[in-house]
Chains A and B, each alone.
Chain A
Amino acid sequence: MSDLMQLNMGPQHPSMHGVLRLKVKVEGEIIREIEPVIGYLHRNAEKLCEMTYYCDNLVYFDRMDYVASMNMEAGYLEAAEKLLGIPPPERAVYIRTIMNELSRIASHLVWAGAFGLDLGMLTPFFYCFVEREKILRIFTESCGSRQETNYFSIGGVYQDITPEIVDHIKTFLSEFPRKLEDIYNLFAKNDVFLSRTRGIGYLDPEIAIQYGVTGPMLRASGVPYDVRKAEPYLLYDKVDFDIPISKKGDSLARFSVRFEEIRQSIRIIKQIIDKIPEGPFFNPKAKKPMMIRLRGDGEVYARTESSKGEFGVYIVGDGGVKPYRVHVRSPTFKNLSVLPELAKNQMIADLIAISGSIDLVFGEIDR
């Protein structure tokens, strides 16, 4: 007979970020075994992509990582445009880079707020969301939509950005850093927060690489891997930014790496916001989106850095207006799979701190 008590956390649990279910075996407060169960948000996105036009598939990608939908769009288009041979014009690349980074900031802010809630801090959540709301307002101005933006399109962007939008982005960039430091200090200068995160959920770089962990989680373990540097796309080879890393590998390191990433994103946008060239914002080849077709067979794999990690899209085409197969390498899925290693022999309270620090978005894990 075992003394372990099985505790079923989720899919309806206040801090399981969507619909994660954890089968946890606890001995008192200590977790001995843990098994994540996923699939509660499976919507068949990959299969649906096979039935839809190349230009329309973006809709499904918007709904994968719904807190950073521009990142998802950039990932899909990186692959689709390579396959179809319709590169975006220079102006669209600039717009995409800016929106991509804004989206990353918004995503990290959502994460920070939710992480605070997981640890019992009620207030920073609202500060984060107020700042995120400003970014969403910029999105609304540029494409009419807040979260599932559907802004990028094959061969460019859906509509041009106006000088007013550029002004609003600039205003945001000038006000945001001070607010960001406030939010950061609210966390990082709180002893209780430090005691809850320091040394909790240590992720060894070896194990991280074995599990395919990417993104801020990997960088917090001291591996300087970022697709934006390793295989630059959009404008990332032309702008100057650092990859924040930390050798600590604990929840606190993941927290500081994400905040440093927000600062680097601000830096990236500041460098290019004044240099947006004039010109067309979409490729004339993509003027009739429904007519975009692949001549002959082809396959392509493209990877981008989403706010969660390396986001890979694999598309096989067999001619025609619809892809033959679409597969997505979801970063959060890989990051989640390392959770049992991290949370083993920790306490229940730590499990929440660890699963919160992974940045789980279930739209992307279950697809």
Chain B
Amino acid sequence: MTLLSTLYGIFSFLGHYPGYAVSYFIEALLYLIVISLLLIFVIYLFRKFMARLQLRLGPNRVGKFGLLQLIADALKLIGKESILPKERDDLPYRVAPMIVMIGLFLAFTILPYGSLIGIGSLTVTNSAVSLLLVFAVIAIMPLGEVLAGISSHNKYALIGALRSIAKDISFEVPMMLSILAIVMMASARVPESLSISSIVSAQFLPYAILQPLGVFVFFTSMVARASYTPFDMGESDSELVSGFSTEYTGMRFGIFYIGLFGSILLGSTLVSLLYLSGYNGPLSTEAGVVWLFIKAMVLVLISFTVWLSMPRIRIDKFVNFGWKYLLPISFVNLILTGILTLGLGW
């Protein structure tokens, strides 16, 4: 039983095609709302966590425990005047935030979420190549950042965009190599080893234990993908004012901000799916999504701690780090995985 079949059960009186159309629409709407609320929760969590770490209180005025603060902030951003730079390239300037948003929300629909009591499986898309698909979608997001930086015709934004490109190139190869190791390991046990749900079911032990190097490379890449400190060279607010988003105001800026936290949530969910056996755990057939949520939130908090305690690394040192350390490590991980899988038959 899936969410879709539950919904179709309600709307089947409309007939076959209209019933499915309405069910799909409502499912999509539900996901949009749930993911947005989740993102708001992550931002709230960040602000509270940051405040505790910095001996402050954090938001505590709007709503109980400041829970409505983020809603108020979003309303403020929407209500703000949208100031457009005079010398912009209009189309890419307007499209850039949308690309970030679309990439983010699309990626969330591809992931498997396990099941919940009463609803059944929460997975939206059951693709046999969902792993490839999700990384293809994630790869769209940097395009938005680069477009934003170049189209605003601001020197800071340009430097920020160039740094983003340099950063993305240097971590994506090691990231894909560490994914390859996972596919190799999963292929020994399950037929569709490019599907994330098969990879989750193939984890008799969490892959974080079997591939400690792999999880290091992948988590580092996810930090760099989301681009927060130590790897926020593209934004680097103390050097480049605000990097590629310097010329954005109002909700367009808000979208980049949401994109940052969305990337953190996405990265944490991916790490928990691929390396921490995702929605599997005790009683997981009943409420796997709870396990996934707990694992992802723990990783989100780890990410926040890293973010708040680290200074920013310099771009050339990061490129060095990517090519001279992450890449060899991911190769070593690949070879070790090959030995484990083929030699020892794990």
Our verdict on whether A and B bind, yes or no, reads yes
Using a CB–CB cutoff of 8 Å, the interface residues on chain A facing chain B are 5, 7, 13-15, 28-29, 116-123, 125-127, 130, 186, 190, 192-193, 195-196, 347-352
Give the distance in Å from the alpha carbon of A349 to the alpha carbon of B315 in the complex.
8
Which of B53, B236, B238, B316 has the most chain A CB atoms inside 10 A of its CB? B238
Q: Distance (Å) between the CB of A120 and the closest chain B CB? A: 3
| CB proximity of B6 to chain A, nearest CB, Å | 44
List of 9 A-B pairs having minimum Cβ-Cβ separation, nearest first? A120-B312, A119-B311, A126-B54, A15-B238, A121-B311, A120-B311, A349-B314, A120-B229, A123-B308
B313–A195 touching, CB < 8 Å: yes
Residue of chain A at shortest CB distance from B240 = A348
Q: A327 CB to closest chain B CB, in angstroms?
A: 34
Task: Using A123-B53, A195-B317 as known contacts, list a sample of 8 further A-B pairs with CB atoms less than 8 Å apart, ordered by residue number in A.
Answer: A15-B238, A120-B312, A121-B311, A192-B313, A196-B313, A347-B316, A349-B312, A352-B238
Q: Does B340 contact A (CB under 8 A)?
A: no
**Chain B residues within an 8 Å CB radius of A352:** 238-239
- Cβ < 8 Å to A, chain B residues 282-314: 308-314
Binary interface encoding of chain B residues 143-154 relative to chain A, with 1 for a CB under 8 A from any of its CBs, else 0: 000000000000
B232 contacts A by Cβ under 8 Å: yes
A-chain residues with CB within 8 Å of residue B236 when the two chains form the complex? 120, 349
B23-68 with Cβ < 8 A to chain A: 50, 53-56
CB distance A119 to B238 under 8 Å? Answer: yes
Q: Are A350 and B314 in contact (CB under 8 A)?
A: yes
**B238 close to A196 (CB less than 8 A):** no
Could you tell me how many residues of chain B have their Cβ less than 8 Å away from some Cβ of chain A? 30
- Determine how close the nearest CB of chain A comes to the CB of B309; give it in whole angstroms: 6
Measured between C-beta atoms, what is the minimum distance from A169 to chain B in Å? 22
Chain B residues, CB < 8 A from A195: 313-314, 317
Using A29-B159, A120-B236 as known contacts, say yes or no to A13 and B55 having CB atoms under 8 A apart. Answer: no
| B250 touches A (CB below 8 Å) | no
Q: Let me know if A121 and B309 touch, CB within 8 A.
A: yes
- Asked whether B311 lies within 8 Å of A192 as measured between CB atoms, the reply is yes
Contact between chains at B238 and A14 (CB < 8 Å):
yes
Q: A7-B155, A126-B55, A192-B230 are in contact. Are A121 and B310 (CB under 8 A)?
A: yes
The docked-state distance in angstroms from the alpha carbon of A127 to that of B56 is: 10
Interchain CB contact (< 8 A) of B310 among A7, A118, A125, A192? A192
Indicate if the CB atoms of A190 and B238 lie closer than 8 Å: no
Closest B residue to A5 by beta carbon equals: B155
Least CB distance from A193 to B in Å reads 5
**Complex Cα spacing A5 to B158, Å:** 11
Output the nearest chain B residue to A124 by Cβ-Cβ distance. B309
From residue A321, how far is it (CB to closest CB) to chain B in Å? 47
Partner of B239, one of A5, A121, A126, A348: A348
The distance from the CB of B155 to the nearest CB of chain A, in whole angstroms, is: 5
Q: Quick one: given A29-B315, A123-B54, A126-B54, are A349 and B239 in contact (CB under 8 Å)?
A: yes
